[in-house]
Amino acid sequence: MDGRARRGLAMGLALAAGAALRVWMLKAFPQVEGDTLVYGGLAKNLLLHGRYAITDGSGVLHSTLIRLPGYPLFLALCFSLFGMDNYNAVACVQIGLELLGCLLLAGFVRRIASDGAALCTLWLAALCPFSASYAAAPLTEAATLFAIALALWAMAGFQARPGWRSALAFTFAVVFAALLRPDGALLGVALAPALAPAMLAGLKRGAVSKEKLTRMAMVCVLLALIPFAGWTWRNWRVFHVFEPLAPRYANDPGEEIHHGWQRWVKTWSLDFVSTYDIYWNVPDGPFDLSKLPSRAFDSPAQHAETAALAQAYDENGQEFTPAIDNGFAQLAEERVKAKPLRYYLWLPLGRMADMWVRPRVENLPIDLDWWVYPHHNLETRFSWAYGGLNAAYLLLALAGLFMRPRYWPWMLTYMVLRSALLMTVEAPEARYTLECFPMVFALGGIAVYRLTTWVFLSVLKVKASDGRD
């Protein structure tokens, strides 16, 4: 068997293993709840009523702009092909998309490093349980990972041969990512500047003319703007607001935003437990004061004031009044003035660190207090193993960065920009850093190949030296 056949077999085995892992997760941990039902409702209303709208408890449709149209359109396409509410089919399509993304990442690494590094990247991406679990969940993550992989592949292809295929693929990738989630726009911000050196290099070696580059740039910019212009015009026509993406707090025009509550949460929120126990429940749900961490209070007086606001919230039917929200705003202001570095630096850094390094078990049937060993020994051990695996991926990516492969500054730029954006989030979730994992896979694959090659050559040198002796 020649080298090409061996590589093909290894790639096929990696994809088969990745498919098996994802199908197993689909069967073992089916997830159709929360945001999935919101996106699904939008998709169904598009198909059944021709309206981008949500349905309230009484069955009445209300036009909305709380979610960008990319994923609802994707679901609508799947529903029209495979049947309404067929989320299993959606997950299977996503599994195929994500595995295609793994191949695109391998192609990207092959262009910037070597065939061996590409194969290592493919195995790292295909067998990663963190991305695999979201491929089996009808959420935006799998489609976003595919879009990022496509953008990286197209970026490297454009440098090798500036042409329409790579340019249009890159444009589609960044537009699709931005239509899925507002933060997807960071992909274009981080990677688009990397195309400029490729354009200049293509002009110098005569691979492309200035006129052709100008036409490609104009067409791609126009194609990128059209969907957002349409979305912005629709929002202006329906709601009379300028909204080219989606609101910060996923609220429709006229819906009340509890700014005091949001700011107070940011004065103490640090990890996903706070998000799950408090942030997701309030308003419209219980505010359990006992689940607040000690860092939520700087004094007994603050504890008493918080308890009074929680009681007023419960007495008001678990809803905020302006007075209650103002009370939280005053508490937040007091805490920020007392310890500004905590609010503006330490807690944002802590939330970002929590999203990067905590065990990624949020969509597995594991208790949130997995670290309390006496409560559930097996779950604690499994969670620590997951945390160790996550750390291994990150350390390999860090090693890959130190090796400075081509495009490393642009991959690093994307991860830094995304991390900086996540520092502004008051409710951390580990899945928010999953969008950086295509870069983690690529850098980690390069590191694995170079490190194993170095070890192998070192062993050969030692054996050769021993033979001469």
Question: What's the pLDDT score for residue 469?
Answer: 55
Question: Is residue 300 assigned to a domain?
Answer: no
* Residue pair 281/287 in contact by the 8 Å Cβ criterion: yes
Which sign does the torsion angle of CA 36, 42, 44, 47 carry?
negative
Question: What's the pLDDT score for residue 197?
Answer: 85
Mean pLDDT of 264-270: 96
Question: Is residue 232 assigned to a domain?
Answer: yes
Alpha-carbon gap, residue 134 to 140, rounded angstroms: 9
46, containing H or E segment: helix 35-49
% helix, strand, coil for the chain, step of 5: 75, 0, 25
Question: Is residue 363 assigned to a domain?
Answer: no
Question: Is residue 342 assigned to a domain?
Answer: no
Question: What's the pLDDT score for residue 362?
Answer: 87
Residue whose entry in the numeric block shows the structure tokens 């959606």: 90
57: confidence class by pLDDT, cuts 50, 70, 90: confident
Residue type, position 146, single letter:
F
Cα dihedral 421, 424, 425, 431 in deg (nearest 10): 30
Q: How many domains does the chain have?
A: 1
Alpha-carbon gap, residue 271 to 93, rounded angstroms: 32
- Integer distance in angstroms from the first to the last C-alpha of the chain? 36
Cα dihedral 272, 275, 277, 279 in deg (nearest 10): 170
Residue whose entry in the numeric block shows the structure tokens 């598009």: 46
* Residue pair 95/135 in contact by the 8 Å Cβ criterion: yes
77: confidence class by pLDDT, cuts 50, 70, 90: very high
Question: Is residue 130 assigned to a domain?
Answer: yes
Name beta bridge partners: 63.
53
What would the pLDDT profile of 342-398 be if each residue is shown by its tens digit?
A: 999 999 999 999 999 999 988 888 877 766 667 677 888 888 999 999 999 999 999
Which sign does the torsion angle of CA 24, 26, 30, 33 carry?
positive
* Residue pair 146/434 in contact by the 8 Å Cβ criterion: no
Domain that holds residue 137: 3-249+383-456
Record the pTM: 0.94
Strand 53-55 and strand 61-63: pairing? antiparallel
Three-point CA angle 276, 265, 302, nearest 5°: 120
* Residue pair 242/232 in contact by the 8 Å Cβ criterion: yes
31: confidence class by pLDDT, cuts 50, 70, 90: confident
If you average pLDDT over every residue of the chain, what do you get? 93
Question: Is residue 158 assigned to a domain?
Answer: yes
Question: What's the pLDDT score for residue 95?
Answer: 97
Alpha-carbon gap, residue 143 to 279, rounded angstroms: 26
What would the pLDDT profile of 99-156 be if each residue is shown by its tens digit?
A: 999 999 999 999 999 999 999 999 999 999 999 999 989 999 999 999 999 999 999 9
Question: Is residue 319 assigned to a domain?
Answer: no
Question: Is residue 328 assigned to a domain?
Answer: no
